[in-house]
Chains A and B, each alone.
Chain A
Amino acid sequence: MDRILQSLIDIVGEKAVSNHAEEIWYYARDPGVMPPHEPDYVVAPRTTEEVQRIVQLANRERIPIVPMGNGMALTGLVIPLKGGIVLDMKRMDRILEVNERGRYVIVEGGTSQGKLKSYLEDHYPHLRHSIPDAPAATTIAANVAIHGQGRLTQQYGFNSDMVTGLEVVLPTGEVCRIGSCSMGPYWFSKGPTLPDLSGLFLGWLGTTGIITKVGIRLYPRKKMRDVEIFVTDRDDLVADIVYRVTHTEMVEDITVWFQPKPLMFKDNNHITIYLTGDTDEELEFKRLMIWDALREFIDSKDGGFMSVQPLKPMLLEMPQRGIAAFADVPKGGGFEYSGPITLVDQYPMYAEKVKQLASKYNVVYAGTARIISGGHAMMFGISFAFNRADPDMIDRVRRAVHEATEFALDLGGIPWKPNIHEQKLAMERMDPNTLRLMKMIKQNLDPQGIMNPGNWEVG
């Protein structure tokens, strides 16, 4: 038997290692448009110690290692570009501790968003986390590692801003705790008032370590949740509408979306506003404040609230399953998107660009903006669906997404969970000293270059 395979079996047991053709084929790809590349082994650890021993082995043997949650970033971030080991983290899915009064939870690195949601509903019905609209199988650790967003991002920032501590296996095999948990039993702060070392891992796409435990903030779960949709056909008013709504400090989440189908949605921007409250009076007060903030647009007939009753079950669902259904619009099981982070003011240019690209490349589009931190920025999702059985359509989507990212970076945006090409585009535009700092950090943390190689590779 292959020596490396035997070593991996010695660490995790036979059932948790595979080099069978089926797993090798499957773990070589994600559901996006990036080309596949095969790993040599897929390994599913159950403990931090097992992860540590795998990393130590990879270090000794100079084998690339790629940590994977559910592999739903869609941008090829878990495709093992240089082979080696894919670490499927999903068996490390225990919820370790909830500090109710401190409003944080500690989970293992493979815990799914769905499992935490369900656990909190069962045991801590007054608490919630910022669940993304990605499928429920996606993991908490992977989400923060890529600076994901969620239902509470409008109020509290990126989900990675909500991290309260990390346990990380460094590329050289040491287990390292980040934040208040490095000094004591509590996981209430990832950095302040210490040097914030979480930045060495968040946003690095698994190139600087493997997150084996993560603490995240929990927030009050109000008894009631409701939704309104404000519609305008004027792209140029969206930023102002968002500005006025966020000024009220009354809303949970805001997403803005437009799509060509069904026809009732065509040519309109839909500003979906989520409200929460503990009483009917609280909810009604917030609703009135929002209506009042948008009165001017209603009076000028530039916008108005649409009836949401039929859409409510779908809109209030967390996560929204309907988002995954977008992949089947061209009956082909795929969609890809570029999701740059940028200023809300730039909404009209982005909206125009999405439609241009869809027309140029003859692909189906959907545009969605998620408002971040009260309007400090937005994630603008430029999404194109494709038919997995149509290589030409896949190629067109790939080119459309690439052009969308170039457009966004030229406008001063920054890429979210960038694929390797987008990372290169970003690094080309980056201040040389910033780039040198990144290189210094990477070389020091991962001297062998084994962690998710190919990503954030500074030349």
Chain B
Amino acid sequence: MEHAGIVHRCFRCGYCKFPGDYHDFNCPPHRVFGWDTYSCGGRMWLINAWLNQEIQPSQRFAEILFSCVACANCQEYCVYPFKDDLLAVFEETKTALVNGGLAPPAVRDYFKAIHVNGNPYKLPQEQRGRWAEGTGLEEFSGQEYLFYVGCVGSYDEIGMRMARSVGLMLKEAGYSIGYLGSRETCDGNEVKVLGETGLFSLLAEENIRKFREMGVKKVITLDPHALNVFRKEYPKLGADFQVWHFTEVLGQAVKQGRIVPSPYRVRVTYHDPCYLGRHNRIFKPPRSVLKRIPDLEVVEMRRSKEDSFCCGGGGGNFFTDILGGGEDSPNRVRIREAADTGAELLAVTCPTCAKMLTDALKAEDLQGRMEVVDLAEILRRAGVGC
């Protein structure tokens, strides 16, 4: 393990469990399971025990590790100088468990589906471009930007709706974009987080080769998870393309007057996705888009920006569901928090969050009070002049 030397340095003080103002526990698995072992500090101590052979790897140990949603709240609030390496420690431990055949069945299934089908839904590659049908958007053929949609945006109904909405808004704003459709391959962010380094390398190298062959220089992602892995991991493997999340592009578009929103009287709260916010520090652009819409009122949730509470879908949990459901599940906790603001719309900028929070809206029976809507759709509802 590359970071084995820091594991014993955790004091288990517990700052990693909280947001900045200590309002509530902000670590989703700790919130769900309740035990200290399921918090960042607990994991660090157990990993140390495992490295020292004081405990043996077990199903429970694997559950503790794989229930981490990689939301990075721990990295945000740990008081120690090694804070930035906490998620790397967890990843490396998961890699060891995967290599030792100790990954939970749901995780193994996830890897297998991606390895065999190229996506976790086990759906045909040909269906990847289905989201774009009827939009008039074109497949990539040398346009200035590649619009990379990712697995959730390609196959999940809510993700596909979001992909259409964002793709059309980018086009209306005058960006020259093309999508990959059946040529698109999973970006591998979750594969890496879940510790399958071999499969991740395959996916990343294939994407880099493909992008290079197609002459892709600039990428706009729908999914913050893809942004994260493209921006932080692909360059280590030789990628040389530039990448932005669509919120960054729309933020520039409204600033430059490429999009001029019309008045829209509505109360909106915004959910920061972990991979956009804490991981990549993109807090302002989505808010600047909302604030440029006349008459629209933005109300912040109790936990926002650096303190945002994960929807529970990160770290592969969207597919593996190790956190499980129930009233304490992170998406239901989060949707209640959103409803508490009195907002009519919950703005989302990640297809995983969109799906998780839409499901929670139904589970909490809040459909009559609030809608989960992506940022581009809010612009469309406002009506934009381009």
Contacts and interface: CB of A to CB of B under 8 A. Distances in A.
A398 B36 CA distance: 26
A122 B25 CA distance: 16
B5 to A, nearest CB: 9
Contacts of B58: 20-22
B22 A334 contact: no
A135 B54 contact: no
Nearest to B20: A118
A253 B220 CA distance: 53
Nearest to A135: B13
A118 B24 CA distance: 9
B34 A333 contact: no
B14 interface: yes
A15 B34 contact: yes
B11 A31 contact: yes
Contacts of A121: 21
B342 to A, nearest CB: 16
Interface residues of A, number: 45
Contacts of B9: 328, 331-333, 388
Interface in B42-89: 42, 45-46, 48-49, 54-56, 58, 60-61, 64, 79-81
B23 A115 contact: yes
Contact of A324 (B15, B23, B33): B15
A409 interface: no
Given A23-B35, A117-B22, A333 B49 contact: no
A135 B14 contact: yes
Given A16-B34, A112-B22, A25 B46 contact: yes
A88 B55 contact: no
Given A16-B34, A118-B23, A26 B45 contact: yes
A332 B82 CA distance: 11
A136 B13 CA distance: 8
Contacts of A115: 22-24
A15 B15 contact: no
Nearest to A324: B13
A90 B30 CA distance: 11
B11 A327 contact: yes
Contact of B14 (A117, A137, A327, A334): A137
A92 to B, nearest CB: 11
B80 A325 contact: yes
B21 A21 contact: no
B35 A88 contact: yes
Contacts of A135: 13-15
Given A115-B24, A331-B9, A44 B79 contact: no
Given A22-B55, A23-B35, A136 B22 contact: yes
B37 A22 contact: yes
A12 to B, nearest CB: 11
A273 interface: no
B18 interface: yes
Given A44-B35, A72-B13, A136-B14, A25 B80 contact: no
Contacts of B8: 332-333, 387-389
B287 interface: no
A22 B60 contact: yes
A15 B325 CA distance: 13
Interface in A12-37: 15-16, 18, 20-23, 25-27, 31
B42 A26 contact: yes
Contacts of B55: 21-22, 25
Nearest to B19: A118
A114 interface: yes
Interface in A287-325: 321-322, 324-325
Contacts of B21: 117-118, 121
A321 B56 contact: no
Contacts of A22: 37, 46, 55, 58, 60-61, 64
Contacts of A27: 36
Contact of A328 (B17, B23, B80): B80
Contacts of B48: 388
Residue with the highest number of chain B CB atoms closer than 10 Å, among A22, A90, A135, A321: A22
Nearest to B35: A23
A26 B10 CA distance: 13
B12 interface: yes
Nearest to A320: B79
A20 B60 contact: yes
A153 interface: no
Nearest to A390: B8
Given A26-B37, A42-B35, A325-B79, A31 B12 contact: yes
A23 B80 CA distance: 24
Interface string B179-210: 00000000000000000000000000000000
A91 interface: yes
B61 to A, nearest CB: 6
Residue with the highest number of chain B CB atoms closer than 10 Å, among A121, A136, A333: A333
Given A21-B55, A332-B8, A389-B8, A118 B22 contact: yes
Contacts of B54: 25
B23 to A, nearest CB: 4
Contacts of B79: 321-322, 324-325
A396 B267 CA distance: 61
Interface in A109-130: 112-115, 117-118, 121-122
A18 to B, nearest CB: 7
Contacts of A276: none
Contacts of B37: 22-23, 26
A333 B79 CA distance: 11
A70 interface: yes
Nearest to A44: B34
B18 A114 contact: yes
Residue with the highest number of chain A CB atoms closer than 10 Å, among B12, B56, B58, B60: B12
Residue with the highest number of chain A CB atoms closer than 10 Å, among B17, B33, B56: B17
A19 to B, nearest CB: 11
B11 A26 contact: no
A262 to B, nearest CB: 15
A319 to B, nearest CB: 9
Given A44-B35, A136-B22, 20 more contacts: A15-B34, A20-B58, A25-B49, A26-B37, A26-B45, A31-B11, A88-B35, A118-B24, A121-B21, A122-B23, A135-B14, A136-B14, A137-B17, A324-B11, A324-B15, A325-B79, A327-B13, A331-B9, A332-B8, A388-B9
Interface of B: 8-15, 17-18, 21-24, 33-37, 42, 45-46, 48-49, 54-56, 58, 60-61, 64, 79-81
23 contacts: A21-B56, A21-B58, A22-B61, A25-B49, A26-B35, A26-B45, A71-B36, A72-B14, A88-B35, A88-B36, A114-B18, A118-B21, A118-B23, A118-B24, A135-B15, A137-B13, A137-B15, A321-B79, A328-B9, A328-B81, A332-B8, A335-B11, A388-B48
